Amino acid sequence: MKLYEFEGKRLLARHGIQVPTGIVVKAGDDHTPEHDIAVVKAQVLCGGRGKAGGIKVANSKKQIKEHITALQDIAIKGEKPSCILVEEKLEIKKEYYLSIAYDTRHRTPVVIASAQGGVDIGDKEVLIEPIDLAEEFTKEKATDILRKADFDDAEKISTILLHLYHCFTTNDCRVAEINPLIKTRDGRLIAADAKIVVDDDAQNRHPEFDFPPRSASGRKLTPYELAAKQIDANDHRGTAGGSFYDLDGDIAILASGGGASLTCVDALMGYGGKPANYVEYSGNPPREKVKQLAKVTLSKPNIKGCWVVGGTANFTDIYETLGGFMDALDELKEKPTYPIVIRRAGPRDAEAFEMIKKRAAMRGYDITLFSNDVPMTVTAKTVLEKAR
């Protein structure tokens, strides 16, 4: 989960890193500015906020209020700000870049450092230095890294890097980035921005986190996404719903397996099809979870076809999971009249296919069944032809 700047800064401050004094203004708050000069920042999750007009400098109390109102109404790359952060304006002497993130080339966390921070860091030269988690990360190591990256004040800034490292590890961060880290004219070192991503897989050892649910891009979750995510949140056996992503096509998809789902959606789109959603269930989820997920997926309006697709399961019980799907069909408010194409194989699949044939005949569903003698990507064509 990506944190808003103000949430990230609170984590940094808790770990001894100085951040600008500021206040969070929510919609409906009556904010009375204390100072005449301030930076007013829209709280969004997407990048490139400054260039998109999401940060404004105010030179009077009146202007602060104007900027707050203006930023509350804008959308940055389609994202409405969650709130507004009003902060002291810093007198900048120098800007640095400092972050810690996981790196697939080293397969460790790495420190990414540049003595020239600020916007467009992607175009600048940065130092990438792996951290060995089998050893202690010491002040000496931190200092060495910063010297190597040509920081002028390596000794002093190494304390901040050390704090950042502790923030990264104790909060199970995926990314902890300060850009820019500012040296002010009066010699203070202050994190002027924070980009922090925490690990969703470590959430249950952080009961202290109270961050409201959100999508990775800052896009508000749709009702279908919220409902689907709830299925996984309520029951941890297998996954069914956590990955639901709402799209605007007309082919409802219930895919199985991380890799197979990606492969199949690629194939469907390759044939000109438009998915109504992406979702993947796997890890042998119980029948009930698949039923709930199918109900959410098929409750979307304007569905012209449904594609239940997966490879050859290793341990997911096909009878139980497809049984859950059939249960959902029976419970839908409107009986599905659109074609349903199922391509699946794995444990108990022969039994499952018998059961589906029987129930489809009884209830009059239009279901086409394929086992693994037909390549799964080919069945994308079948569902599109039947849906036309």
Partner 1 sequence: MSILVDENTQVLIQGITGSEGSKACKNMLAYGTRVVAGVTPKKGGQRVEGVPVYDSVRDAKKNHDADATVICVPAMFAKEAIMEAIENRIPLINVLTEHIPIHDTAVCLAHARKAGVRIVGPSSVGIISPGKAKLGSIGGSGPDRAFIKGPIGVISKSGGMASEISLILTRAGLGQSTVVGIGGDVLIGTIYHELLELFEDDPETKGVVIYGELGGTYEEQLAEFVKAGRFTKPVAAFIGGDFASTLPEGVALGHAGALIEGNVGHPRAKREALKEAGVMIASVPGELADLMKNALG
Judged by the rule CB under 8 A, the positions of this chain that interact with partner 1 are: 2, 46-47, 102, 104-105, 107-109, 122, 132-134, 169, 172, 174, 197, 199, 201-202, 204-205, 215-217, 219, 243, 245, 256-263, 265-267, 269, 275, 278, 280, 282-283, 310-315, 345-347, 372-373, 375-378
**Within 10 Å of residue 324's Cβ, how many Cβ atoms?**
23
CA 253 to CA 262: how far, in whole Å? 11
List all residues 6 or more positions away from 24 whose beta carbon is below 8 Å from its beta carbon.
6, 43, 83, 84, 85, 86
Return the number of the residue (105 or 388) whose C-beta is nearest partner 1: 105
Cβ 113 to partner 1 shortest distance, Å: 17
Please report where in the chains the tokens 């399961």 appear, as a residue: 313
Return the number of the residue (249 or 336) whose C-beta is nearest partner 1: 249
Residue type (1 letter), 207 = P
Return the number of the residue (241 or 257) whose C-beta is nearest partner 1: 257
Structure tokens at 210: 């109270």
Cβ 241 to partner 1 shortest distance, Å: 13
Phi, psi angle pair for 311, to nearest 5°: -80, -150
Show the DSSP H helices in the chain as ranges.
5-14, 61-73, 139-148, 154-170, 223-234, 258-270, 287-298, 318-331, 349-363, 378-387
Return the number of the residue (133 or 233) whose C-beta is nearest partner 1: 133
Phi, psi angle pair for 38, to nearest 5°: -160, 160
Cβ 255 to partner 1 shortest distance, Å: 9
Structure tokens at 376: 């799964």
Collapsed DSSP state (helix, strand, coil) of residue 206: coil
Return the number of the residue (72 or 169) whose C-beta is nearest partner 1: 169
Cβ 354 to partner 1 shortest distance, Å: 18
Residue type (1 letter), 34 = E
Structure tokens at 87: 């902060």
Cβ 77 to partner 1 shortest distance, Å: 9
Pick from 83, 70, 68, 73: nearest CA to 33 = 68
Cβ 280 to partner 1 shortest distance, Å: 5
Collapsed DSSP state (helix, strand, coil) of residue 72: helix
Return the number of the residue (46 or 70) whose C-beta is nearest partner 1: 46
Q: Which residues pair with 86 in a beta bridge?
A: 23, 40
Return the number of the residue (147 or 220) whose C-beta is nearest partner 1: 220
3-class SS string, 115-163: CCCCCCHHHCCCEEEECCCCCCCCHHHHHHHHHHCCCCCHHHHHHHHHH
Cβ 269 to partner 1 shortest distance, Å: 5
Cβ 144 to partner 1 shortest distance, Å: 19
Query: 54 and 81 in contact (C-beta within 8 Å)?
Result: yes
Return the number of the residue (20 or 311) whose C-beta is nearest partner 1: 311
